[in-house]
Structure 1
Amino acid sequence: MTALQGLRVLDLSRVLAGPWASQTLADLGANVIKIERPEGGDDTRGWGPPWLEREDGDHGEAGESAYFLCSNRGKRSIRVDMRSSEGQKRLKDIAKSADVLIENFKVGAAARFALDYESLSRENPRLIYCSITGFGQTGPLAARPGYDFLVQAMGGLMSVTGAPDGQPGGGPQKVGVALTDIMTGLYANVGILAALAERERSGLGQQVDLALLDVTAATLANQASNYLVGGITPQRLGNAHPNIVPYQSFQAQDREFIVAVGNDTQFARLATLLGQPALAQDPRFAKNADRVAHRDTLIPLLADCFAQRDASHWLAELESAGIPAGPINTIAEALNEPQLLAREMIVDLPHPDNEDLRVVGSPIKLSRTPVTYTRPPPRLGEHDGDLMLDPWGDG
């Protein structure tokens, strides 16, 4: 048994936020049908290189892009032209027996095909209909298209990401992955599962309205609260933290590493480790609020100490002292971390084009109904035949 066994999900979404949501549901056991355009399918199939190298040694655009592979495992792919009346009828028929539908059309576009919530819920009142857009179903910007990069900028995330103005490389930066898309996919899952739980009481479905801009605002967390509570407009601090000191990167003799002191006791241990126990008694540094106020004085003192030895020395010493610290890994180093490997976060998922496909697995660990990896990301239209038989099959 899996946690979501028997749940039927019709995925009309593309690119990342919607597919990320449906992939998570598939990992948890849901039966997910991915609907794709006959010509080219999901946009991300063409977002390479790199491409999955095929067993015959061929690769390139005939294969699957690495981007597509990251967010579409566990699904079946069926090609449907929803611009045609036949395609619209097929989708309506599938939606009649779906538990969940995920879409990321522009506001109003689904209604042109009679695939909107109002139309489909008349035939299937138990349907959970999740709509993902840049700006939501309401408001003055609802009709505008929205992309992760654009919304990271508009939502304030870029304003607190990157080095301060006047420093080398200073200026606003986007996060290195499409984090707003991914977080929107995760919030979509929360909304979908909440609606499913409520359906157990009422017997009725509902629409779940997710906006990238809303999610960006919600995930500003302490930075948004710093403004709303303290009237402070947060600024970029590079790798430093606005509310905790020292909580940043330091340059050792050979390379940078991270120190994350979370409380005053840890700071006292750090001061002792560095041979500067008096720092913890100094009224400028004894409490975190004092350290925040005097960071410009404290940080150079700590930096001078850390610059005397290699990062490996400091990381070993900090671990022994119970002070959170770690290396700044490359992606390759991170994905080969023994801890991630022990947690089975890198999964072998043989693909029809290459049996050696490996993907990053789900971080969700359930004790009785663990996640499963039953299908590799599908080739375009791989399961078209299912549409002519039973589109849902046995999951």
Structure 2
Amino acid sequence: MRRVRLLGVVALYAATALAALVVLASLLLPAMVAIHPFAILVPSGYVAFGGLEGDDKRLLFLVPLAVCLLAVGAFLGAGALEPTVRSVGALDGVGLETIRTAATVLALGVLVTVSLPVVVGWYAWTELDDTAVEDSTRSPDLPDRFAVQAPDRLSVVSLDDPDPAVYVVDDGRRAVLGFTAGATRALDDREREAVLARELTRVVDREAAASFWASALAFAAARLVDPLSTPVYEARAGDKVRLPYWFVAPLKIVGAVVALVLFFGFPIAGLAALLHVNAVVLVFGYAVATVAAGFGLTKAARWLAQDLATDAVLTADEHGAVLAGDADALANALRKLHTGAVDGPRTASDDEPATTAASDRQDDTLDAFDGLVHFPTDRVPVEDRLDALDDVADRLDDRTGTHSTTGTTSA
């Protein structure tokens, strides 16, 4: 079953890469065939030059220039090598434009396939690094008996959030175990150790890697479709005018389709002329398909990440309780994190209202990686998890010949 889900993650990335390849090829190839290939470097170079003037944009705006350079290079390179290829008897009967088009699509396909997971992973870690705050005075340390089993790629960080939660993020090469400030205060030493043991088993077993890649793709795709699907409409003009979401959402989707029609208009019209297809129908189809693909890929990635997390919750609970040797402590920690109970004094920073930008960033990050956050979780009822930990506690008691009275694991 795990292999099927891993194949599902691979299929998601393949579908995303195919969609990106179709858009790139459709935008670039008609212009390159109709006019001189170097002509497309002018607008892309202008975008890159203008983007580099801003401190926040940096090298991001070099992407369109790099993509166009690769496409132009493949297009011209195929033309330059065409006589040599034909001299050995290959590609007989194939037109030059077909060879150039195939070479360009192949180059763009390799670029998208290689860069997509790199870019998605980089973006996800950037957002997490901006949210997680290293703080050795509050981040729980790994006990010595766990440290010997912990891989070097694992680090423990704290998140400046008063709500109790614990998360683990693992892409297969780097793993982060995060405690919010609320979780650090809510859990006592035994409970924190049990939680650490639980999440450590997930890293050692590499169980969280597939969830990471599905959630990271959903996270990146959500940045494109969230402006269309945000359920809260913040009206301007001093909040004097507020429109219901059922009215605003269709307008936003229609506006996005119209904007994409204008964006796709010129290049897709050129493609329609080459393919002898109605230009209006093709452009409209591209716009609608782009919006639908964005929603579809985002929903599919979120569903897969949550399914992966749900499937592993009870197993991770059992392995963590066995590693810690204390199922009661893990059950108590689960109960506290599920109910949001926070013990201990609150710090002054907890009472200060967070800035809107910082608060939104933390909420967005935790929401986007919901498939990776097991504490708290509602995908497996907490009563079922506590009942399962009751069975683990009984087995541990039978093995040691003792019965723990330090805690209970009933709901």
Question: Considering only CA atoms, is the larger Rg found in Structure 1 or Structure 2?
Answer: 2
Q: TM-score, structure 2 length as denominator?
A: 0.20
Give the number of the structure whose residues are more often strand, by fraction. 1
Give the number of the structure whose residues are more often helix, by fraction. 2
Q: TM-score, structure 1 length as denominator?
A: 0.20
